[in-house]
Chain A
Amino acid sequence: QKEVEQDPGPLSVPEGAIVSLNCTYSNSAFQYFMWYRQYSRKGPELLMYTYSSGNKEDGRFTAQVDKSSKYISLFIRDSQPSDSATYLCAMSAPGGSYIPTFGRGTSLIVHP
């Protein structure tokens, strides 16, 4: 079992839909949770960064962490064609060098 599991998709939705992207993990030591967006042939771009459990909102994006279930989510409201990209979750544990473990990424397609 991989430490971080993420459905590769693709996930295809119409413009304006609410998108839910998810990751599960097995390492209970993970405390820091990140979401990155990666456009085709570009470097990943940090979208959201949360610590421990709870919700964090930034514009149309909401990150949710449920440590009891070892499950994290990224919600995108009012999705736009420009949101079409691959979304990678990442997580790390305190101590040491905080090297994050990345999920494989979910490909999202928002069609007009």
Chain B
Amino acid sequence: DSGVTQTPKHLITATGQRVTLRCSPRSGDLSVYWYQQSLDQGLQFLIQYYNGEERAKGNILERFSAQQFPDLHSELNLSSLELGDSALYFCASSPETSGYNEQFFGPGTRLTVL
């Protein structure tokens, strides 16, 4: 158990809908990362937050957005969903002591868009 929690574990929805994925980092970790993992693309970095502020952006679509709250949990919002958004979405957190290179991943949310 990495200490990172994600809810829900599974999500099935229809095209055009909007969903919210939730992540709670390990106790004491200020950085949260979101990743998308699909069979054909591998693990793709989406966005990073540090102590409530956006720190880095990767291949995140405009239909996707995220935020980190004062209690450090984070939410990833996916809107106008398309079939191609079906994937595993992982949240990770990292401690400052390792320079942010050690990332601890949650169990993921499996999103299926029908």
Binding between chains A and B:
yes
- B2 touching A96 by the CB < 8 A rule? no
Tell yes or no: B18 within 8 A of A by CB: no
Tell yes or no: B25 within 8 A of A by CB: no
For the complex formed, measure the closest distance between the CB of A95 and the CB atoms of chain B, giving whole angstroms. 11
Q: Interface residues of A: mostly helix, strand, loop or mixed? A: loop
The docked-state distance in angstroms from the alpha carbon of A104 to that of B43 is 7
Per the 8 Å Cβ criterion, residues 64-114 of B in contact with A are 88, 90, 92, 98-108, 110
- A43 touching B100 by the CB < 8 A rule? no
| Size bin of chain A's contact surface | 20 to 34
- B48 touching A43 by the CB < 8 A rule? no
Query: Which single member of B42, B90, B103, B108 contacts A100 (CB below 8 Å)?
Result: B103
Please give me the residue from chain A that is nearest to B33 by CB atom.
Answer: A99
- A46-64 to B contact mask, C-beta < 8 Å, 1/0: 1001000000000000000
Residues of A within 8 A of B (CB): 32, 34, 36, 41-46, 49, 88, 92, 96-105
Residues of B within 8 A of A (CB): 2, 4, 33, 42-43, 45, 48, 50, 55-56, 58, 88, 90, 92, 98-108, 110
